[in-house]
A and B are shown apart, each in its own frame.
Chain A
């Protein structure tokens, strides 16, 4: 890995609607993808709701930006870490999340899931590995 590549972690802690943090976090991720850094996303606390399937925002007059997560693979953003305890505390499981896949160029473009469910302890290790942590 070249010296210019840093490990960036975008931490998503807030529900997708109600505040603008989730949407503006995603905007940073999409712009940041152009910089060829080693990018990961973390979803914890109410941030796990950002990835839930079947979001319908018609009643609140907000743009439903959840389909954008499925496009992240095209931007080489393929590591979406979701904290298991945060899911469980909210009565959610992996089945409640949308399916987000990427094509692994190092494995004959095999389709693989981008979402990785990790424990709170594993999440701490992921944080510790990073060079730059942006918290939203």
Chain B
């Protein structure tokens, strides 16, 4: 089965991004496909490379980056939600006149159309949030 996954709560504050991660790992192990994960609301904060959790804690962004690289998962951060919360890639930082960007490896910033497209193209859409 082909699953689309939405993460709609922020990392560390909320369990949603962890549960989504464990779901995706298990789904892939069971032979399912997860072509894309879409990060919305505070979920976009998973996509910053500047978070520095304590060394004895999981690094949620690094877990996703690693998983995406190994399984070719498209990690999409919603542009509108990201701009509100200060998640920028190089293009957006330049376009908005900001002096830095912070998007993590394996993540890309794109529009809400990617969420709708995922709903259309997958067999099941799962939303991990509050």
Contact = CB atoms under 8 A, between A and B. Distances in A.
A113 B127 CA distance: 30
A112 B20 CA distance: 41
B34 interface: no
B contact patch SS: helix
Contacts of A28: 40, 112, 115-116
Nearest to A39: B116
B100 interface: no
Contacts of A37: 116, 119-120
Contacts of A55: none
A32 B127 CA distance: 16
A21 B41 contact: yes
A contact patch SS: mixed
Contact of A135 (B111, B117, B127): B127
A134 B126 CA distance: 8
Interface in B69-100: 80-81, 84
A126 interface: no
Interface residues of B, number: 18
Contacts of B127: 133-135
Interface of A: 4, 6, 8, 20-21, 24, 27-28, 31-32, 34-35, 37, 131-136
Given A21-B41, A24-B81, 7 more contacts: A28-B115, A28-B116, A32-B116, A35-B113, A132-B120, A133-B127, A134-B115
Interface of B: 6, 8, 40-41, 80-81, 84, 111-113, 115-117, 119-120, 125, 127, 129
30 contacts: A4-B120, A6-B120, A8-B119, A20-B41, A20-B84, A21-B41, A24-B40, A24-B80, A24-B81, A27-B80, A27-B112, A28-B115, A31-B111, A31-B113, A32-B116, A35-B116, A35-B117, A35-B120, A37-B120, A131-B119, A132-B119, A132-B120, A133-B125, A133-B127, A134-B6, A134-B115, A134-B119, A134-B125, A134-B127, A135-B129
